[in-house]
A = this chain, B = another copy of it.
Amino acid sequence: MSASNNSSMVQTIHARPEIGLKKFDIHHQETEFEFKEYMAVKAKRVHEALEEAVPLRHPLKIHESMRYSLLAGGKRVRPILCIAACELVGGDETVALPLACATEMIHTMSLIHDDLPCMDNDDLRRGKPTNHKAFGEDVAVLAGDALLSLAFEHIAARTIDVPQDRVVRAIAELGSAVGSEGLVGGQIVDIASEGQWVDFSVLEYIHLHKTAKLLEASVVCGAIVGGGQVSDVERLRKYARCIGLLFQVVDDILDVTKSTQELGKTAGKDLVSSKATYPKLMGLDKAREFAEELGEQAIDELKCFDAAKAAPLHCFANYIAHRQN
């Protein structure tokens, strides 16, 4: 069974022999240096903005807990995607920054709540004790709630010098990415499928919702506040959905192939807990192939944009496909 047949919610992927995986890799190597710098500069900007968005104030404990997870040094994939999409359609970084921060707050909330004993019961996250291990379960639940509401407040209060209808559209988009038909929907189906046999359509539902939706919303919201045309926004939505799924396929692969120390979280856990993963359903090699195909399809969606301007998102697809942690 080919990977593309299992991908009902993503556009059918055609094998394109003229863009072999090798070329895909070479392009990645050519632009690696500049992209690393781009990522580092944007990640620093996002980190500073997040630090400023959640100052250490009264009540101390909740803000310590929020900052503990929010400023733990994640890769800032969602915020950087948000900014890159905004800049691609002609918007300014400062316009996207509050939205970018919001995507990271939401992502952090989902990690804190997913790690809880009543959910995945994880002790380690990014090489540190999980939030509830450090602050207690009650504080961890509340820190997640506070980050989620702050995300929306932050967008509404800080996105200035932009037509306000764009802000409203972005909030609706982001809200739907989190809720019962987004992140939460994916997590609930994931929990329900644990220890059960699941087919590809269920696995794809889980990953499209648990991972891809928020990445998609990050890109789409960036393009909306940046003033992108509807057609461009929808093209970027397809791009983001591919790299969202790609992100999860790579995550599944890394979970099998990397040790706990390298990954900074409890590795091999998905296999032990009999959770459905791509390597388990497809085998490791097919999962790798599927990842490459998703990366290529994502890059295809960028072809109508100016190549230089689309370079960050282009490199992002490569980066996500080839990341090691």
Establish whether residues A179 and B164, one from each chain, have CB atoms under 8 Å apart when the complex forms.
no
Q: Does A17 contact B (CB under 8 A)?
A: no
- Interface size class, chain A: 35 or more
- CB pair A179 B149 closer than 8 Å: yes
Q: Are B175 and A150 in contact (CB under 8 A)?
A: yes
Contact between B192 and A61, CB atoms less than 8 A apart: yes
- Contact, CB under 8 Å: B180 / A113: no
Flag if A146 contacts B179 (CB, 8 Å). yes
Q: Does A109 contact B185, Cβ atoms closer than 8 Å? A: no
User: Does A169 lie at the interface of the complex (its beta carbon under 8 Å from any beta carbon of B)?
Assistant: yes
What is the chain B residue whose CB lies nearest that of A118? B137
How far is it, in angstroms, between the C-alpha of A179 and the C-alpha of B139 when the chains are bound?
13
30 A-B pairs with C-beta separation under 8 A: A54-B180, A57-B181, A59-B185, A66-B180, A109-B145, A113-B141, A113-B145, A116-B141, A119-B141, A138-B191, A139-B188, A142-B184, A142-B188, A145-B148, A145-B178, A145-B183, A145-B184, A146-B178, A148-B149, A149-B182, A150-B179, A152-B152, A153-B171, A153-B175, A154-B175, A156-B172, A156-B175, A157-B172, A157-B176, A163-B164
Mark A residues whose CB is within 8 Å of B. Answer: 54, 57-59, 61-63, 66, 106, 109-110, 113, 116, 118-119, 136-139, 141-142, 144-146, 148-157, 159, 163-165, 167-169, 171-172, 174-176, 178-185, 187-189, 191-192
